[in-house]
Amino acid sequence: MKKVLSENKVSEVVLSVFLKGTFFFLFFLFPFTLFAQTYQQLSERAIECIEKDSLHQAEDLLVKALKLDPKNEKNAMLFSNLGLVQRRLGKFDKALESYSFALNFVPLSVPILLDRAAIYLEMGRTDRAYTDYCQVLDEDKNNKEALLMRAYIYILRRDYPTARVDYNRLLEIDPSSYSGRLGLATLEQKEGKFKESLNILNKMIVETPDDATLYVARADVEHEMGHDELALVDLEEAIRLNISLPDVYLLRGEIYLTQKKKVLAKADFEKAISLGVPQADLHEQLQRCR
């Protein structure tokens, strides 16, 4: 009996120690579990807010999650989402900062580099955008977005031969690329190769005859060639297809100015302003309409 009691006593002691140990373990584990759940919950709620377009709330939730665990590997995704939210809110400087923090975790992330480059471009910081697009192409030489946008930057720099290299590369990868073909048509126009530009645009218009942008692009080439009557016909068609395209009125206003039709030109420039073109951008044109 004593032996049995001793064994029971031992079992009680062992059980007691085990339970205390378990409690001790759970006591220390619980805060970390709660901490991880809180981080995860904040992240998930932020995504829900982004999907609902509740951007200010999403920004707040993402910032709180990042403060909870600054070294978490998942923060690359959180910083990237934060950059997206801040970009939509028009907070471009903060968005750039967020994307840069994301790249500290994943320096060679192509999607994040592309997002940051796009903001640099929106802000007119083309040199920074160019660097990011080059880095993307170092990682993925066939990245179509990077090729397209780097070619565009080359055009801005008037480095037309190098722009052509990127456009040709893009069209080798995707011969039907709308943006690539339109960009190449613009390049041909910039180099004074108007017939080549028109050939590209004519083919695109045959394929998509309801695209107002293509008629504006062709009208611009025709205007440079001195064929203003043809350009005006194309612009009328563009307006029929899309009455809210500012570029139509900007170009037609310029044509009217060359024809000394100042009243009509002013009306078109004012229409462009009503469609979102900053009035300051058209100050000179409006002065010429007097």
Q: How far, rounded to the nearest angstrom, does the alpha carbon of residue 83 sit from its chain's CA centroid?
A: 11
pLDDT bin (cut points 50, 70, 90) of residue 177 is very high
**pLDDT tens digits, 106-125:** 999 999 999 999 999 999 99
Instruction: With a cut of 70, say whether residue 1 has pLDDT above it.
Output: no
Which pLDDT score, from 0 to 100, does residue 146 have? 98
User: What was the pLDDT predicted at 19?
Assistant: 39
Round the average pLDDT of the chain to a whole number and report it: 88
**% pLDDT > 70, the chain:** 87
Contacts of 253 (CB under 8 A, 6+ apart): 264, 265, 266, 268, 269, 272, 285
Is the model's pLDDT at 34 over the cut of 80?
Answer: no
- Domain 36-107 fold: 1.25.40
pLDDT winner (highest mean) among 38-42, 82-86, 262-266 = 262-266
Domains of the chain by residue range: 36-107
Residue 275 — pLDDT band, cuts 50, 70, 90?
Answer: very high
Mean of pLDDT values over 251-255? 98
The span from the CA of 251 to the CA of 105, in Å, is 46
Given a cut of 60, whether residue 17 has pLDDT beyond it is no
Mean pLDDT for 16-28 is 37
Residue 240: its pLDDT value, please?
A: 98
The confidence score (pLDDT) of residue 163 equals 98
